[in-house]
Structure 1
Amino acid sequence: MENINELMKELHLDTTLSLKDIPEINLYMDQVIQLFENKFAPTKRNDDEKILTKTMVNNYAKGKLFFPIKNKKYTKEHIMLISMIYQMKSALSINDIKKSLQTLNEKILEEEEFNIEKLYDRYLILAENNVARFLDDSMALNQEIFPDIAEQENIDAEYFQQLLLVASFANMSNLYRRAAEKIIDGMKEPQAKRD
């Protein structure tokens, strides 16, 4: 795909919810949804797509993906967890997300000294590095595909190049998802569950 640079720009890969984006005050659900909609609007596939809805947040709460809210307000810690859930939900099942966040939720509730901001900041650094790796890998993949397709006669080169990119990206996505699932399967149950 000759315009892969344009594709990468259109993805808005550097869009994250940074610590400075998250208010220090507790927010009502509508405010949380507005925060996510404003921040992630450029990443939407189309105008009808919803970034985060009340139903989604209620389902996360009912599924115990994050610790209980108080007085219908979401803390900074809740918003960091919802941000992580937002990123994981397209690749992992709700049960897998719950299992992966269960110990973190317990630490937030049980350990006053636990600093989720340090963990979230590390997560954001990894996300930034992942974007750089993805861009490098995408350019390399494009270079692998393009010469083979361009040399063939009597074919729709652009279509077949796009098809191979789609299939390759889907394959890589599946490989990463399977690796994440395998790690989740090996996670120990929290201490409270084992006793």
Structure 2
Amino acid sequence: MKKENISDIIENLNADQKIKLEDIPDLDLYMDQVIQLFESKLSSLKRKEEDKVLTKTMINNYAKAKLLMSIKNKKYSKEHLILMSLIYDLKGSLSISDIKVLLDNIVQKYENHEDYNLRELYKTYLETSNEDSKEFKTSVRNKEENLTNLLREHNIQGDFEENFLLICSMISMSNMYRRMGEALIDKFFIKGDK
């Protein structure tokens, strides 16, 4: 495995690509406009060209599952789009039921017409994600270097073995972070378990 290959992959991942607050108009959008916005801003994150970032069915399912606050006049507010962006980011690792638990407090505040500054929360989320992206890039480069040293110590040579172990390590780390996220949901967000 060549360092420039991993560096290219890291940069081409666009892992830090998010919908920013300024990308979302202040006026309400129809469903087709929402889908178009998500496709234009997040299409670089698709694994395959034919994949969809967001569909009408997804949006309808989010609304039915009460992951979003009520939709008025078939239009979606900036707050709806913020929640959809969060759902998009979370659904790669969490179940829809866990996402619902996370977002329920926010949705309920909006349904009850309580004052809640979702835009500031989202802005802070974006800043945190930016820091996470930097940490991720450094971590992958360090993981690659450590793996190369371990392979040398164990007298293992070959691109297959090196790539195989790097992939297994990435998936193992991903699983640990996902399980930690689930444990935090269970501890702090599931009602009755406090």
The answer to whether TM tops 0.5 is yes
Q: Contact 2:68–2:80 at 8 Å: present in 1 too?
A: yes
RMSD between aligned residues:
1.9
Superposed counterparts of 1:1-195, under 5 Å: 1-2=1-2, 3-149=5-151, 155=157, 157-188=158-189
Percent identity, aligned pairs only?
41
Q: Normalised by the size of structure 2, how large is the TM-score?
A: 0.91
Residues 71-128 of structure 1: CA distance to partner in whole angstroms, max 9, x if unpaired? 1110000000000000000100110000110001112333543211110000001100
C-alpha distance in 2 between matches for 1:58 and 1:24:
22
TM-score, normalised via structure 1 length: 0.91
Could you tell me how far 1:149 is from its partner in structure 2? 3.3
Q: Tell me, yes or no, if the aligned pair for 2:109 and 2:115 is still in contact at 8 Å.
A: no
Q: CA deviation at 1:164?
A: 0.9
Counterpart of 1:186 in 2: which secondary structure?
A: helix
Give distance in 2, aligned partners of 1:32 and 1:178.
Answer: 31
Rounded Cα–Cα distance in structure 1 between residues aligned with 2:103 and 2:127: 19
Contact 1:108 1:116 in 2 (8 A): no
CA contact (8 A) 2:106 2:116 kept: no
Which amino acid is the alignment partner of residue 16 of structure 1? K
Q: Tell me how many residue pairs correspond in the alignment.
A: 190
What 5-or-longer segments of structure 1 have no aligned partner?
A: 191-195
Q: Which residue identity does 1:69 align to in structure 2?
A: I
The alpha-carbon deviation at position 61 of structure 1 amounts to 0.7
1:110–1:150 distance in 2 versus 1, CA, 3 Å: same
